[in-house]
């Protein structure tokens, strides 16, 4: 398994980030530089259904220039490979996904802060512009500073208010958080604290704006 651990990165002559296998980098760095660099993978995945009702998956990594490739181009490539896969399988391709692994921003905290655990969750429920179903966004390990002295979500807290506003207004007028049925979120319905992965969860601190 150690042969497949990743170590070291560089940008190749096509502008793509490349990563070396750890074993090669340790034993022969020069060889790793020449022959074992490969892109941190975006994964094309396809879900296949056979005539007995069973499903299986096929997936493979792809490399591309992240500075120039668009989302539409990636979807086009996924569809193209899907068409080729469709021609060589008896199964029906019923869907799939494109997984793009991301690296956190360097300005974010480098280590977890001492405080709440990730099973301690703030639940933000949002209304949408189409139906009455709420869309929940969870904040694991919420900061105590986002609570009122009484231990309830403080909707006036600067950081929490900024997050809620960004959810409702979108990013750069281009990316808009939606409900699972793809309707715009237009108001915060309520906020409360809960504990996840515990039986008989109980929301004891509901706050409505």
pLDDT at 101: 86
pLDDT at 45: 97
pLDDT at 54: 96
Q: By three-state DSSP, how is residue 122 classified?
A: strand
| The pair of three-digit structure tokens given for residue 99, joined into one six-digit string | 């997984």
What's the pLDDT tens digit per position in 64-86? 887 888 999 999 999 999 999 99
User: Exposure of 20 by Cβ count < 10 A (0-12 exposed, 13-18 middle, 19+ buried)?
Assistant: buried
pLDDT at 169: 94
pLDDT at 207: 57
pTM of the model: 0.69
pLDDT at 5: 36
Q: By three-state DSSP, how is residue 169 classified?
A: helix
pLDDT at 23: 41
pLDDT at 77: 96
| The pair of three-digit structure tokens given for residue 108, joined into one six-digit string | 């974010």
pLDDT at 206: 56
Measured at the CA of 46, the angle between CA 45 and CA 49, to 5 degrees, comes to 150
Residues of the chain with pLDDT under 70: 1-40, 197-209
Q: State the virtual CA torsion across 69, 72, 76, 79 in degrees, nearest 10.
A: 130
């Amino acid at each position: 398994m150690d042969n497949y651990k990743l170590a070291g990165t560089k940008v190749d002559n096509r502008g793509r980030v490349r990563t070396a296998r750890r074993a090669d980098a340790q034993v022969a760095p020069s060889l790793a530089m020449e022959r074992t660099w490969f892109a941190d993978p975006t994964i094309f995945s396809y879900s296949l259904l056979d005539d007995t009702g069973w499903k299986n998956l096929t997936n493979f990594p792809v490399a591309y220039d992240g500075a120039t490739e668009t989302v539409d181009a990636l979807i086009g490539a996924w569809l193209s490979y899907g068409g080729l896969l469709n021609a060589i399988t008896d199964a029906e391709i019923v869907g799939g996904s494109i997984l793009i692994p991301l690296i956190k921003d360097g300005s974010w905290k480098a280590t977890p802060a001492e405080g709440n655990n990730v099973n301690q969750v703030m639940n933000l429920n949002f209304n949408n512009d189409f139906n009455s179903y709420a869309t929940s966004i969870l904040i694991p390990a919420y900061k105590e500073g986002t609570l009122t002295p009484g231990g309830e979500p403080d909707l006036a807290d600067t950081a929490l208010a900024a997050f809620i506003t960004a959810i409702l207004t979108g990013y750069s007028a281009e990316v808009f958080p939606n409900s699972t049925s793809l309707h715009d979120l237009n108001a915060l319905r309520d906020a409360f604290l809960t504990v996840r992965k515990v039986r008989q969860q109980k929301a004891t601190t509901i706050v409505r704006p």
